[in-house]
Each structure stands twice: as structure tokens, then as C-alpha cells.
Structure 1
Amino acid sequence: MQVDRFRAVLAQRLGWTFADNDARQIGDLLRDRAAQHGMSREDYLARLAARPWDAEFTELVERLSITETYFFRHGEQFAALREAALPERASARLAQRTLRMLSVACSSGEEAYSLAIAGRMIRPDPDWLISVTGVDANPAQLRKAEKAWYSTWSLRETPDDIRRRWFRQGDSGYYVVDDIRRLVRFQRTNVAEPDEALWRPEQYDIVFCRNLLMYLTPDVVSSLVERMTRVLVPGGFLFLGHTDSLGSNPAGLELQHSHRTFYYRRLGGPTPPQRTVSQPETRSNPVSPYAAPRAPAPARAPAPAHDDGAYDRALDLLRHESFTAALELISAPRDTPPRPRERLLHGVLLAQTGRLDEAVLLARKLSDENGLNPDAHQLLGLCLEDGSAVVEAIGQYRLAAYLDPGFALPRMRLGQIARRQGDERTAAGELERALDLLAQEDEQRITLFGGGFGRIALTVLCRSELDACGVRP
């Protein structure tokens, strides 16, 4: 009960949420802080909830923050930033010659400095005004950011040419060069609270907010996403973490896909150069979403009705693991072309009967034809994972989860893969999300992608995997 009250206060004041498997960590912290002040836990909680206690909340933020980061983390997102988002914004800003960026939850500053370096690489002219604001709730991390000194480990993903150009080596570490430091400022901010200057509408070209939303309460997530959308200029870009998704059609934003990653563009602004965005890169004959509308196609006779009975019977055979009979039924000749859901079931059955190469080919065709179909990406991920192409499978699961934030099964697969790879923190985050979503998972999706497990069995499996991680997601 005391731990629940402690979590409720943290959620109210900081907007932070904690998983059930954090109870021990939260309980230990509650005990330590109450003892530090010579209070009982009840008295400490009463004092914490009663009135402002800035010094204590600062201590709690420093104790609870997850601070792991490094320069150019998730290189595919920085590739999209350098080669797609920033060039488009620089073209739109030629008259003003400015680029403004925001790093939300910047921790010790590596992301903010990475944004500044990317901006300077795109626009090296000194008469361009490039500015980056980094915000975080942890004052200790912001003090480190302002020093701009980092260990070699923080530069582990930094290309050698960038390291030589934008860093100076010192004793057992590196300093960010002054030309970059001058572009960045840091500010302590609690994203659960309003800040009119920081969130002034239409002031940033780029906003990075990666791997934060999963730690916030739903109300704070909703308000933060609304603020970040509002502070972007029309045509500006929002980058979220791999564990965060707004789905394929969030309010005021359009989904973009390039460089093997997803991000968002605020609606409006000047028409950007033609780019094959908003669809996966493998899509054949892509159509730019910014192209002029085509003339309407000539009217056609209504298509003949499909036989839903065959599909339903094949799905029922799949539930009873009669894979060969189901495959024969769904692949039988018919008068009308199969619909996407019938082709999806066909692909699942091909995989279940060991015909992986055919299943992969069919799954790729489905995702090429409609890159925004999360089920097609889930099927492809399962086929690739079974075929030992784990890296590509992870990418497909991420696509499925991005396109449908309510889709539990790709989150579960991502968590299981992360556990096998020894990344317990990522595994815990994905499995926690999957566990939350499984109760509402679509029954047909469970049949297609659950590997023969029902909802209850998948929930038990997911919970056991999560408990085995033993860390806060």
C-alpha cells in the first residue's frame, strides 16, 4: 500500500509511471528517503504529498532517472535526420537561415550535441543560426551536459571523421569543440508541467523525444505529444524512440519512413521535394504522398462476392493445428482473386507447414503492396526470425508495432529477442508493453501469430519472461 501511494505521488508530480516489477526498487527508495529525513514512511509520504518539496523531488529524480545514452544513438534515425529531415527544413528556411531543434529528456547531453553536429554538417555556413535546446528533469545530468566532457564509451557509435572534426581528446575522454557547444543550451524541465516559453507554438524544426513516453502516465503522454506537435513548425519533424509510437495517423502529423526507421512530419508547410516517404523503402512503384491526385479511374462492374466460408473454415483448422488441410483449403482455385486477409492466412499456413521461402515471398509481396499493413510486417518478421534473419525480423516487428500501437504480439517478440540477446532492459520495456496490450489483443491476430497459444497462455508466458528480466523497463 505504501509503495502504491509513493508511485501515485510520483505520477502526480513528475508524470512518471512504474511497472509492477519496480515495486522492490520503489520500496527500497521509500525506506531510504524516509530514514534519511528521520521520518516514518507514512510521515514521509504525507509530507511529500502535502506541499512543494523541491529539494526532495530533485533527489528522487536523480535516484530514479535512467541516464544511459551516447552520441548518435540509433544511427538509422540520425541518417534520416541528416539525409531527409534536415535538408528539407534547410530548404524551407533559406530566407531566415535558421534551424532550431529540441532534445526532450536529453540526459547528459549527447543527443543535443549530436543534433547540433548534424545541423552544422548540413549547413556549415557561419551565417546560419543553428540552435539546440536540451531539456531534462535531472539537474545532475544537466550539469554533466554543460561540461561537455565525455568518456570514450559515450562516443562508441561516433564515426571517426566526426570524432576528429567535432571533438578534442583530453585525459581519458573527449571534449565537444566550442563551435558546437555554443549552439546548445540546457534547461531543467519537468514535462508534466507547462512552460510557455519552451512550448511556444511553431518554433522548432526538429524535435527528438526518444524512449521517454513509455515511462510517463497516459495523461502526461497525451499532453506532451500535443505540445511537441504544436511547437513544430508546419513541415517540422518529430523523432520518437523505437519503443514509442503514435500509430500511422496521429493528429496533426503524418508518418514518414526512410533509412529503416519511422518518424513523423507535421502537416502543412511548403511542399517538400519528392521523396518516397510514408511507405517502406522496399515498396515497388511508390507514389509520393505529396503528388497531385490522379484522375478517377473508370467505373467498374461490382466485384463478385467472396466466399467467407472458406476463410473461416481454414482459420478454424489453423486453431486446431490442422495446417495441411487449412493450406489446401485456402489455396484452392477460386473465381475471384484472394483478398489480403486470405493471402495473409495463406502466408501463415505456408510458414506453419515449413515452406518458409514461399511464406517470406508472400509476406514481402503483401508489405510491398501496402507498407502500412502491420499484420504483413508481423508475418514477415516471424518468417525471417524462423529463418535466422533476426536483425531484419526485429526491423519488421518494429514496423508492425509502430503502425499499430495496440498490437501486442510484435512487442512480445521484440522482448523475447532482446532477452535472448542479453538486453534485459529493452526486453523488460517491450514485455511490459506487450503484457498491457494482450488483454485487448484481437482474437484473430492471436490465432494467426500466437504460435498455437491462446490469450491466457500468451499472458502467462509474457509475465514469466518479464519476471525473469529482473529490471525496470
Structure 2
Amino acid sequence: MNAPAAPLEVARFRTLLAERLGLDFDEHKLTTLAKVLDSCSGGDRQRILADLAGTAPADSLLSRLATELTVTETYFFRSGDQLRAFGELALPERQQLRGRAEVLSAGCASGEEPFSLAMMARSCGRDSCLSLHAFDANPAMLARAARARYSTWSLRELPDDWRPWLQPDGEQFQLAQEIRRAVRFEQRNLALDDPAFWQPGRFDIVFCRNVLMYFTPQQSQAAVARIARALAPGGYLFLGHAETLRGLSNDFRLCHSHGTFYYQRSAGGEQAMPALPAAAQPMPVLRPATPPEPLWAEQIERASRRIDALASSARAAPPCTPATPDLQMAMASLHQERFGQVLEHIGKLPPQHAADPDVLLLKAVTQAQSGTVARARETCAALLGRDALHAGAHYVLALCEEMDGELAAALDHYQGAAYLAPGFAMARLQAGRLLRRLGQPEAARRELALAAQMLEGEDAARLLLFGGGFPRAALLSLCLAELATMGAAS
């Protein structure tokens, strides 16, 4: 019997999988990786590792690894709100602009997603002047897509008026030929570049849902760069609901319609974006002129470190450095709701810090809380010019919209902030409050329950910035009281 894989062999295997397939495996998956390495190597693990490390790994090996390790869960009409945005907004807009539309489903698994796109296009009368492409790295899934026979489980979300396209065939359902012929499948690895495929401006719409969440950050960034290159200006990108481009790309603007979020490719330079149909609600973002800032959580961590002395007024302020503005006194004034002093502290910072994201965010929060809404909007625009997907800026814009009585627009921004920063408790809380006011109790309960969970571990600096002067316990009590009142009313 062969000896089990050594820890160093498994670690090397894990690194090579990230390089060749983009897949990211945490420490809890090492036992699984060891088993896959043994089963694929036939006992000769060094040969497999050397093949993967070579300049051209065998396609058969990569295919087998993809079959063993990729997640294949999917079904028809998954995240139907995005499919409706595709059929009712993105597809007609792109067809009108370019005369036809090239659509890609990247990581298509067993075909339910691209076939759903074909059904949606046909049901909307948009199936002419349309090319649907789909690829996956897993050959076993592509074989299932070619057979186009599906179980009842795959059809669980299928709209009733689409049922005629799937006819019973024994214990499964066979997809109609007219839908099957609408999609062209191929085996392809999103983690590997192919300039001939990712030609500039080739595609109008790309679906890449629930794929990047399994990639390493580096491979996610590289994959998004390929997609951005291949999307025409104004083209659309749909990700999974648990995925964002935050920290990955500045080439897109965040949009919201049909109850869902998606992205639109920015135009190069100062070119104007194509006009959107009135149904779309694009977030008012600007093209970033600088590289992306660190992740929101990292920004807050930096701010938290700078205000860790708030509890002790006797502690001396750390020296100001050109790279990191000292916001301690300004944050202390914000905590005491001395808004004029906050702005005065910010105004005295060295000029090189005027466009620092932390400075702009603190300034926008202060302006919004002091009621100078127009100036808060201007500051948010400057912040979004540096980071188009800044969750904090969208939160402050939501406050501005709410103060102006634009509740629907405020909700869009609160939900956008929560989408861009999934752990943002205050965004969830405010969204829940607004949903209740707008007569959507079930959605309100969901958001408020999430807020209550997140508040327990919410970063202290983020609470200070966005809590309106309320401590964690008071905000949590507010959440629970809102939920209890809604429960009593139902």
C-alpha cells in the first residue's frame, strides 16, 4: 500500500490547483485534496505534481481535476431577478445599440444557466440577432449539457410557462431542440488566458455566477480583467448574489434594477456611457482615476487603529505622517456630534490628505449628519471617483436620499452598500427600516434579522462612523424592537 500524501505534497498540490484552475481551498479541505491527489496519481504523486508545474499540463489531467473538484450545483431560472434584468433590460439595450448581442455563460456547469438565458430571450422575443456561448472546465458537466436531460430537482424554479420546453422522458425531462441549438458549448478554463477567445469588446453580456467565490483573490482579479477586456463598453456583467467586484476591478459601475445588482462596463476615458432604459437604476458612480483602494474592512481597520485612543483623552496623538492622516481628534468630535469641529479638523489637515478616502468618508458622514445634504453628495462623488464601489459612500448617499424623501432611491443605496460590504450591519438595519415603511414586511424582517446578527461583531470604528451616536447595544435593541413589533403586527 502506498504511503499517504505528505503535507508538503498536499500544500504543493493546493498551490498548483490555484495556478491552473484558479480554485482556492482552505485548511479544512486538505484531507480532500490529499485523497484527490492519490486517486489521480495512481501512487506516483511526484509525476502529477511535476506535470501540473510544467509549462503545458496535460488537458486530460486538468479535466479530471476539474471533474473531481469543481462545484456543480445549478438549476433552471436560478436567481430569476437577474434573468429578468437580462431579458427586459440588458439584452434589448445591447441589441438596439449594436444590432445583435453576444452573450457568454462562464462556468456554465451542466447547462441550466445558458439554456435559461435562451428561454428568457425567446420568451421576450429577443432570440434573433443573438449568439449564446457557454463554457466550463468540467467535461462531465458539459456531457450532461449535451444530453440536455434534467431531473425534477433542476426544474424546481422553472416558471410554468417555460415548462413546455422540457418534456417528460422516463424519470427525467428532455429539453427542446430549439433551445438546445441556441447555445454553443465548449470546454474552457477561466483561470487560463486565451487572447483569441477574450478578444477586446467581443461580448455584450457575461454571466459568471458563483464561480469567482471559489477562486483565489489573485485568480479572481485576473479572471475579471479578462472579462472586462472582452466586454464592449456599456456591456453587462452578472455575478452571483454572494459575489462583488469590490477590490477586484474599477472597470465597472454598479447598477440596480429588477430587485437585483449587476455591473456595467465603463467606457474608456471620457467617453459617454450609452443611455440606459428608464427601468435601470445605475448607482451614480464615476470612473476611478487611481488604483483600487484596499477592501472596505481594511479601510475600517486602519481607521480603527487611528481612533483606538478615543477612550483616553490624556493619551498623546500619534505624529501625522504624509501617508496616513491623523483623524483621531476629528473622530472624537464626531462621536460628540460636534460637526463643525470635525470639518475644522479636516480642513487643517495637510493638503496631500484632501483626497484620502478615509478623510472624504468622514467628511461626507459629517456633512450628512449635520444636514448639509448637497455638500455630502459632492463629497461622495469625489470619494466614488477614487473608488467606484465604495460601500461607505453608497451608505451616505442613502442617508441623503432619505433626508430628501426619496425612499426608493435611499433603499437602493442601502442595499448597494450591503451588497458591496456583506458584513455592513448598519446598511442592513437601515434597509430593514425602509422596507418596513415601504410595506414589504418579509424583506424587512430578513434585513433586520441579519442586522441583529451582524451588530454583535460589527467593527467599533464602523459603528462610530455610521451609528448616529448610538452605541452597539442601543442599535441592537432597536433591531430587536423592530422585529418584535413586526411579529406582533403579523
- 1:117 is displaced (CA, Å) by 1.3
Q: Is the 8 A contact 2:411 2:431 kept in 1?
A: no
Distance 1:369 1:76 in 2: 17
Partner of residue 368, structure 1: 410
Which string of whole-angstrom CA distances, capped at 9 and with x for unpartnered residues, describes residues 203-257 of structure 1? 2221000111122233322222122112222221110112221139943322111
TM-score by length of 1: 0.63
- The secondary structure found in structure 2 opposite 1:245 is coil
Q: Contact conserved, 1:382 with 1:393, CA < 8 A, in 2?
A: no
Structure 1 residues 249, 199: closer, same or farther in 2, change over 3 A? Answer: closer
Aligned to 2:82: 77
Task: Quote the Cα distance in structure 2 between the aligned partners of 1:107 and 1:84.
Answer: 25
- Equivalent position amino acid for 1:92 in 2: L
Alignment correspondent of 1:224: 223
What is the match of residue 160 of structure 2?
160
Q: Contact 1:148–1:175 (CA<8 Å) still a contact in 2?
A: yes
Alpha-carbon contact 1:381-1:392 (below 8 Å) kept: no
Give percent identity, aligned residues only: 37
Distance 1:129 1:119, change over 3 A: same
- Could you report, residue by residue, the CA deviation over 1:429-456 in whole angstroms, capped at 9, with x for unpaired residues? xxxxxxxxx9xx9761266799969xxx
CA distance in 2 between partners of 1:393 and 1:214 (Å): 27
> Is this contact kept in 2: 1:31–1:41, CA < 8 A?
yes
Distance in 2 of aligned mates of 1:288 and 1:9? 38
1:262 Cα deviation after fit: 1.1
60-69 or 245-254: bigger deviation? 245-254
Could you say what the CA RMSD is over the residues aligned between the two structures, in angstroms? 4.5
- For structure 2, the 5+ residue unaligned runs are 1-7, 268-272, 287-306, 313-331, 344-361, 371-397, 404-408, 474-490
- The answer (yes or no) to whether the contact 1:345–1:448 under 8 Å persists in 2 is no
Residue in 2 that maps onto 1:341: 365
Once the two structures are TM-superposed, the CA of residue 334 in structure 1 deviates from its matched residue by 9.1
Mapped to 2, the partners of 1:335 and 1:5 lie a distance apart of: 55
The answer to whether the aligner puts 1:115 opposite 2:117 as a matched pair is yes
1:265-344 → structure 2 map (5 Å cutoff): 265-268=264-267, 270-279=274-283, 316=311, 341=365
What is the deviation of 1:332? 9.4
Cα displacement string for residues 12-49 of structure 1 (whole angstroms, at most 9, x for unaligned residues)? 22222211221121122223334xx2x25445434543
3-state SS, counterpart of residue 25 of structure 2? coil
**Residue aligning to 1:192:** 191
SS in 2 for 1:67: coil
Contact 2:342–2:366 under 8 Å retained in 1? no
Letter in 2 for 1:241: G
Matching residue within 54, 69, 72 for 1:67? 72
Deviation at residue 105 of structure 1 after TM alignment: 0.2
2 CA distance for matches of 1:179 and 1:77?
23
Alignment of 1:458-469 (within 5 A): none
Deviates more, 1:333-342 or 1:372-381: 333-342
**Which stretch of structure 1 is more off in the superposition, 370-379 or 20-29?**
370-379
Matched, 1:247 2:252: no
C-alpha contact (below 8 Å) 1:276/1:288 kept by paired residues: no
Paired amino acid for 2:182:
L
Distance in 2 between residues matched to 1:32 and 1:262, nearest whole Å: 41
Q: Give yes or no for contact 1:107–1:141 (8 Å, CA) kept in 2.
A: yes
Is residue 2:8 matched to residue 1:9? no
Number of residues of Structure 1 aligned to a counterpart in Structure 2:
357
After superposition, give the CA deviation of every residue in 1:409-444 in whole Å (9 maximum; x if it has no partner). Answer: x9x949x9xxxxxxxxxxxxxxxxxxxxx9xx9761
In 2, Cα distance between the equivalents of 1:102 and 1:16? 21
What does residue range 52-63 of structure 1 map to in structure 2 within 5 Å? 52-63=57-68
Deviation digits for residues 245-285 of structure 1, max 9, x if unmatched? 11399433221111221111123464333445124xxxxxx
Q: Deviations over 1:50-81 (max 9, x none)?
A: 56333232221101010000011111211221
Out of 461, 464, 470, which is 1:444 matched to? 461
